[in-house]
């Protein structure tokens, strides 16, 4: 164990909080959230205990993909504020001890980006080869290769001005960038350098496999993309030693680990754990730990500085693409039986509270995610149990405005409700009068106060971030029991996936004679017998306990 190095690898014990500036807090009542509004809410985030904010794209954009279609990498979207507002936000966050990372979206630009406009109008433009062009009519794209099969039918689009086809793996208004161009790679370094200079602690890298893997589309790079990722990491960490890259890689474990650098772990520092996230979904439906334990056993070991990002829900549809067709249908039936709750045939466009309809079960799910190997990643509003608004199209249903109080627009904005960026959640049980941060702040037993406690427990339990994890064999199928060891320190976490109370026996070998299981979180009953320790978990109950050494 490298005790002295762990403080440096801050991301392994961090609590990330993902938010979109434009739906968080509007300061000037124009209906769009902004940096001044967010800055005003930093003390809320500091009180919650999150240690790193992940900002979704805030750059100028054509606004056809919620900011993921960028038109300028070196500025702030004027609707959200100025660079000056951004710097004030960064300063305030740093003052409260909160780091900030931001989305790095360099797989594609907006079609409106000046680079693309220059590339299409002039074949000799220095930006021409920053995009991927072809003259021959493309072969048909198999639907399985389409990211948005409901909206696009090909990954190639004809451009009249350029008189060529350009590649777009996402929407046709988002042409793919061509990292085979050395000048573009230099530009990406410049973008990273720019924002690091303004104080970012790193980036969440969007769509990593699409960015790097071009063989399948007949466009070989001429170099190993992993060498480039290693280069990029090297650049980042020369500029700032504690800078971190958190990747969006939704592939198998082995393929995902390759993006962290198979030997040496010198590419992405972290990857979001999509495999575990989907197994948790199946285990929840079945009230059976099997799927989680199976995935845990398949989880590859990582190099010292690498870690998983564990999440319950994110800003996209809840993708269940790793499950079998039958398993996916099983989850759909339980959590999103209606067609309008599903998306692309692979996911659900709902948030957790409306799917579970049970607060004890909801708490158990977050506690479980926080106990999995890696660092937890929250999406704004999860801490108060926000639901989705299905009236908002597609993936954006989960991106409704943050609910601060019971008033107009949930306190998100003083603008009239028909001009705000996105409508607030309308379902009575989850609308702002029923679910908001202010009321929960004043109610000791609220989800918000419980979540604050969970975050503090997680930060106080570095065994999870830095240690090794193994599943304990227990007889009860609904129980996930994990033991985390880090040097002399050990932590036991138990989660009951079922609606039935359950007594679990922990053998004496896990809690040696004279040692104790000291409860840290949860309302389990612990009894010490001659055979071991008995833990009574209520329906959807949970326990975090530290194993104290025997005298
Ligand atoms: Mg505003």
Backbone angles phi, psi at 205, to 5 degrees: -90, 120
Locus of tokens 């199209």: 393
For the chain, what percent of residues have pLDDT higher than 70? Answer: 97
Is residue 13 situated within a structural domain?
yes
If one compares 550 and 321, the residue with the highest pLDDT of the two is 321
Asked whether residue 326 is domain-assigned, the answer is no
Ligand 1: centre distance to CA 426 (Å) = 22
Rounded to whole angstroms, the Cα distance separating 172 from 146 reads 11
Domain boundary among 460, 476, 492: 460
Mean pLDDT of 370-380: 98
- 85 and 129 in a single domain? The answer is no
Q: Are residues 89 and 127 in the same domain?
A: no
User: The domain spanning residue 512 has which CATH number?
Assistant: 2.60.40.1180
Q: C-alpha angle 288/381/423, rounded to 5°?
A: 120
pLDDT at residue 530, rounded to an integer: 78
pLDDT greater than 90 at residue 542 = yes
CA distance 275 to 260: 15
Decide: 27 and 62 in contact? Cβ < 8 Å: no
Q: Domain check: are 96 and 159 in the same one?
A: no
Note whether residue 474 is domain-resident: yes
- Which whole number is the average pLDDT over 146-173? 93
Q: Average pLDDT, stretch 444-453?
A: 98
Residue 36 CA to ligand 1 centre (angstroms): 8
**Section 99-116 average pLDDT:** 97
Residues 6+ apart with CB under 8 A from 326: none
* Cross-strand partners of 276: none
Choose among 59, 51, 61: nearest CA to 11.
51
**Alpha-carbon gap, residue 537 to 189, rounded angstroms:** 51
pLDDT band at 215 (very low <50, low <70, confident <90, very high): low
pLDDT attached to residue 550: 57
Whether residue 455 is found in the same domain as residue 380: yes
What would the mean pLDDT of 476-499 be, rounded to a whole number? 96
Reply yes or no on whether the pLDDT at 218 is more than 80.
Answer: no
Task: Identify whether 31 is part of a domain.
Answer: yes
Q: Measure 410 CA to ligand 1 centroid, in angstroms.
A: 15
* 239 phi/psi in degrees, rounded to 5: -70, -40
| 94 alpha carbon – ligand 1 mean position (Å) | 23
Residues 17 and 66 in one domain: yes
Query: What is the extent of the structural domain holding 489?
Result: 468-548
In this structure, is residue 253 part of a structural domain? no
Same domain? 432 vs 522: no
Q: What is the pLDDT of residue 2?
A: 54
**What is the whole-number distance in angstroms between the Cα of residue 392 and the centre of ligand 1?**
20
Tokens for 347, please give them.
Answer: 């996911």
| pLDDT tops 50 at residue 547 | yes
Distance CA 461, CA 466 (A): 9
Which residue among 26, 85, 248, 317 is the active-site one?
248
pLDDT for res 513:
67
- How many domains would you assign to the chain? 3
34, 69, 85, 206: the active-site residue:
206
The alpha carbon of residue 197 and the mean position of all alpha carbons in its chain are separated, in whole angstroms, by 24
Q: Which of 421, 436, 460 is the last residue of a domain?
A: 460
Provide the pLDDT confidence category of residue 504 given band limits of 50, 70 and 90.
Answer: very high
Among 3, 2, 116, 130, CA closest to 69: 116
7 & 100 share domain: yes
Tell me, what's the pLDDT at 223?
87
Secondary structure (DSSP) of 250-294 = -S-HHHHHHTT-TTT--S-SEEE-HHHHHHHHHHHHHT-THHHHH
Centre of ligand 1 to C-alpha 441, Å, is 25
Q: How far apart are the first and last CA of the chain?
A: 23
Residue 348 Cα to ligand 1 middle (Å): 30
Task: Kindly report the backbone phi and psi dihedral angles of residue 62, in degrees, each rounded to the nearest multiple of 5, phi listed first.
Answer: -80, -5
Residue 212 in domain:
no
pLDDT at 4 over 60: no
The mean pLDDT of 201-221, rounded to a whole number, is: 82
C-alpha–C-alpha distance, residues 263 and 284, integer Å: 35
- CA–centroid distance, residue 434 to ligand 1 (Å): 25
Is the confidence at residue 300, as pLDDT, over 80?
yes
Both 88 and 126 in one domain: the answer is no
User: How far, in Å, from the CA of 35 to the mean position of ligand 1?
Assistant: 8
How far away, in angstroms, is 40 Cα from ligand 1 center?
12
- How would you label 443-481 residue by residue, b for 16+ Cβ within 10 Å and e otherwise? eeebbbbbbbebbebbbebbbbbbbebeebebebebbbb
Lowest mean pLDDT among 117-131, 201-215, 459-473: 201-215
User: What's the mean pLDDT in 295-324?
Assistant: 97
Please give the Cα distance from 25 to 21 (Å, whole number).
7
Q: What is the pLDDT of residue 529?
A: 80
How far does residue 148's CA lie from ligand 1's centre (Å)? 30
Look-up: residue for tokens 């575990």?
Answer: 276
CATH number at residue 127: 3.90.400.10
Q: Over the chain, what is the mean pLDDT?
A: 95
Q: Does one domain contain both 529 and 444?
A: no
8 A C-beta contact, residue 284 and residue 367:
no
Question: 325 in a domain, yes or no?
Answer: no
Please give the share of the chain, as a percent, with pLDDT higher than 90: 88
Distance 34 CA to ligand 1 centre (A): 5
Q: Residues 506, 446: one domain?
A: no
Q: Is the pLDDT assigned to residue 546 strictly greater than 90? A: yes
What is this structure's pTM?
0.97
Contacts for 93 with CB less than 8 Å, ≥ 6 apart: 42, 53, 99, 100
The residues, ordered by sequence, that sit 6+ positions from 223 with a Cβ below 8 Å of its Cβ are: 180
Residue 505 shares a structural domain with residue 446: no
Q: Looking at residue 123, what DSSP letter applies?
A: T
Structural domain includes residue 134: yes
Distance 62 CA to ligand 1 centre (A): 18
64-73, 146-155, 300-309, 383-392: least confident range:
146-155
Of 407, 442, 460, the residue that ends a domain is: 460
Tell whether the model's pLDDT for residue 421 goes beyond 50.
yes
pLDDT, mean of residues 132-151: 88
The answer, yes or no, to whether residue 129 has pLDDT greater than 90, is yes
What is the predicted pLDDT for the residue at 211? 85
Q: Residue 551: what pLDDT?
A: 47
Distance 437 CA to ligand 1 centre (A): 20
Give the range among 5-19, 41-55, 290-304, 360-374 with minimum mean pLDDT.
5-19
pLDDT of res. 82: 98
Cα 37 to averaged position of ligand 1 atoms, centre (Å): 7
Q: Which of 82-96, 203-217, 382-396, 421-435 has the lowest mean pLDDT?
A: 203-217
Residues found in the chain:
551
CATH at residue 11: 3.20.20.80
Q: Please give the pLDDT value at position 12.
A: 97
Task: Note if 206 is an active site residue.
Answer: yes
Residue 310's H or E segment, with its range, is: strand 307-311
> Of 349, 418, 419, 415, which Cα lies nearest the Cα of 387?
349
Task: For residues 15 and 47, state if they share a domain.
Answer: yes
């Amino acid at each position: 164990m490298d005790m002295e190095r762990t403080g440096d690898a801050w991301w392994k014990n961090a609590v990330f909080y993902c938010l979109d500036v434009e739906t968080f807090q509007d300061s000037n009542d124009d209906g769009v959230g902004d940096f001044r509004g967010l800055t005003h809410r930093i003390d809320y985030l500091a009180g919650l205990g999150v240690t790193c904010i992940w900002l979704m794209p805030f750059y100028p954009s054509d606004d056809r993909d919620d900011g993921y279609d960028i038109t300028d990498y070196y500025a702030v979207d004027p609707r959200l504020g100025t660079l000056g507002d951004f710097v004030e936000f960064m300063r305030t966050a740093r003052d409260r001890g909160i780091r900030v990372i931001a989305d790095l979206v360099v797989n594609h630009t907006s079609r409106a980006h000046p680079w693309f406009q220059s590339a299409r109008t002039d074949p000799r433009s220095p930006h021409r080869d920053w995009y991927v062009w072809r003259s021959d009519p493309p072969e048909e794209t198999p639907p399985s290769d389409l990211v948005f099969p409901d909206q696009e039918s090909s990954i190639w689009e004809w451009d009249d001005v350029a008189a060529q086809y350009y590649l777009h793996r996402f929407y046709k208004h988002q042409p793919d960038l061509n990292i085979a161009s050395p000048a573009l790679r230099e530009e990406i370094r410049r973008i990273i350098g720019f924002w690091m200079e303004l104080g970012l602690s790193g980036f969440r890298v969007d769509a990593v496999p699409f960015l790097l893997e071009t063989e399948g589309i007949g466009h070989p790079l001429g170099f190993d993309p992993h060498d480039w990722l290693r280069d990029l990491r090297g650049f980042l960490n020369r500029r700032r030693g504690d800078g971190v890259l958190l990747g969006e890689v939704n592939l198998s474990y082995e393929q995902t680990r390759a993006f962290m650098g198979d030997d040496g772990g010198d590419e992405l520092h972290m990857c979001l754990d999509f495999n575990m996230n989907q197994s948790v979904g199946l285990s929840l439906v079945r009230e059976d730990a099997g799927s989680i334990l199976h995935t845990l056993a398949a989880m590859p070991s990582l190099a010292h500085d690498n870690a998983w990002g564990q999440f319950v829900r994110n800003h996209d549809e809840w993708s269940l693409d790793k499950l079998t067709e039958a398993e996916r249908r099983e989850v759909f039936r339980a959590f999103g039986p209606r067609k309008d709750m599903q998306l692309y045939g692979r996911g659900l466009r709902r948030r957790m509270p409306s799917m579970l309809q049970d607060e004890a079960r909801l708490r158990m799910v977050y506690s479980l995610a926080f106990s999995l190997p890696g660092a937890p990643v929250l999406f704004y509003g999860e801490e108060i149990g926000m639901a989705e608004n299905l009236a908002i199209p597609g993936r954006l249903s989960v991106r409704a405005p943050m609910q601060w109080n019971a008033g107009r627009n949930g306190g998100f904005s003083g603008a009239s409700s028909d001009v705000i960026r996105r409508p607030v959640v309308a379902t009575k049980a989850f609308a702002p009068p029923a679910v908001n941060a202010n009321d929960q702040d004043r109610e000791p037993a609220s989800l918000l106060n419980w979540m604050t406690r969970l975050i503090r427990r997680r930060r106080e339990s570095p065994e999870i971030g830095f240690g090794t994890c193994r599943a304990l064999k227990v007889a009860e199928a609904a129980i996930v029991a994990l033991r985390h060891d880090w040097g002399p320190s050990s932590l036991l976490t138990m989660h009951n996936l079922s609606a039935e109370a359950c007594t679990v026996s922990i053998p004496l070998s896990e809690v040696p004679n004279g040692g104790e299981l000291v409860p840290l979180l949860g309302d389990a009953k612990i009894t010490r017998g001659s055979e071991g320790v008995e833990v009574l978990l209520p329906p959807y109950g949970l326990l975090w306990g530290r194993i104290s050494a025997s005298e």
